[in-house]
């Protein structure tokens, strides 16, 4: 415990396998890109493959129309408000439209289970080709968790 009776926390850098596993378990993320000279961050439904390639679907006229062939960042996270712990994973890469591409990566990407929640047609398939995948986790130090529940010390 710290000097105020709160559990000690520590920050852990996640290895790439853990980052990819967290990506693959998550269905909502945020993609950052530049469109019309402005930086945008948009929440999207997505799926990821075993290499950490992120696939999403969009409209033919939306903001994401400018994402292919430019640098993008994609982020997912999870947290627990009660324990004040969580994790985040960021994929830095390049956007690529794969709607009609016939290479193996594009064909496999279109087979991923991407189910948009937003209404309307989403015929454009986009893939984030990762250049770097990083992540970190904020957790409670071992031993402190047994004495702490939802912000209330148990002892």
pLDDT by residue (tens digit) across 59-90?
998 888 778 889 999 999 999 998 889 999 99
The answer to whether residue 14 scores a pLDDT higher than 90 is yes
pLDDT at 2: 62
Residue 113 clears pLDDT 50, i.e. is over it: yes
Question: How far is Cα 12 from Cα 80, in angstroms, rounded to an integer?
Answer: 16
Give me the pLDDT at residue 153, please. Answer: 47
Tell me the domains of the chain and their CATH numbers. 9-153 (2.30.110.10)
Taking only Cα atoms into account, the Rg of the chain, rounded to an integer number of angstroms, comes to 19
């Amino acid at each position: 415990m710290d000097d105020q009776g709160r559990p000690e926390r520590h920050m852990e850098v996640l290895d790439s396998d853990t980052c990819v596993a967290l990506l693959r378990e998550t269905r909502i993320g945020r993609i950052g890109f530049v469109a019309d000279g402005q930086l945008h961050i948009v929440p999207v439904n997505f799926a990821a493959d075993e290499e950490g390639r992120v696939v999403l679907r969009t409209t033919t006229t939306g903001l994401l129309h400018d994402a292919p062939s430019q640098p993008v960042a994609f982020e997912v996270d999870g947290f627990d408000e009660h324990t004040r712990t969580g994790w985040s994973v960021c994929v830095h890469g390049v956007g690529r439209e794969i709607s009609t591409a016939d290479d193996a990566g594009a064909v496999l990407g279109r087979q991923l289970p991407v189910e948009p929640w937003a209404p309307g047609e989403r015929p454009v398939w986009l893939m984030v080709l990762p250049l770097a995948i990083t992540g970190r986790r904020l957790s409670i130090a071992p031993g402190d968790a047994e004495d702490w529940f939802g912000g209330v010390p148990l002892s």
